[in-house]
Amino acid sequence: MNPKEIIARRAAQELNYGDVVNLGIGLPTMISDYITDDLEVTLQSENGILGMGGAAPKGRKDKDVINAGGQNVSVKSGASFFDSSTSFGIIRGGHVDITILGALQVDKEGTLASHIVPGKMVSGMGGAMDLVVGAKKVIIAMTHTAKGTPKLLDKVTLPPTAVKKVRRIITELAVIDVEEDGFKLVEISPETTIEEVKKLTGAYLKIDSHLKIMKVL
């Protein structure tokens, strides 16, 4: 199982029955493929879909049915389509229960940097600025490092997308909560150690007294 699949599978466990959920572009879009059939959630996409499903099956792709990242997706029975202004009205109106986004960096205060690397062309902010403000809960799903460089930091060094909005971070190595006094390790992969996670985290990391082993279904 590759790191991104591990992250997506674990992140899918954050969803609860009845949630309205927005999944960011990139890695988070994989989460829709790991939502169990018995969990009734409604996926919203900022390009104007409510009731989105997982990736479109081979041979059944509709070029006009895509998520915000431009990937072909399926839709559930009863899904609706609308313009972006209505979609962002849903987001800004506080109707999204949880958003799971990717990130370039997150710091110990929950500040997120996700949209720009100076001197490089990237996809841009998209709806992230609206989602981190409008969603009731913000979770980051990302790899723990970028080619060995920590992405969890004392302070973000890239331009911030939003300040003090992230509550939980899921990586291939751990589940880390953002608390008032910094990062807390609450789950750890059975494939690593506390010492290794600390080494790859660019900020002080508290260890939960009830630390759990991260389960990937």
Residues assigned a catalytic role: 46
* Helical H segments across 67-189, by residue range: 84-92, 128-134
CA-to-CA distance for 100 and 21, rounded, in angstroms? 8
CA 36 vs. chain centroid, Å, equals 18
Count the neighbouring beta carbons within 10 Å of the beta carbon of residue 72.
16
Residue 145: CA atoms inside 13 Å, Cβ hemisphere, count?
Answer: 13
CA 207 vs. chain centroid, Å, equals 22
Closest among 167, 141, 36, 21 to 91, alpha carbons compared: 21
Judging by DSSP bridges, how do beta strands 20-23 and 98-101 pair with one another?
parallel
Radius of gyration of the chain (CA): 17
Residue 92, token pair as written in the block:
């800004």
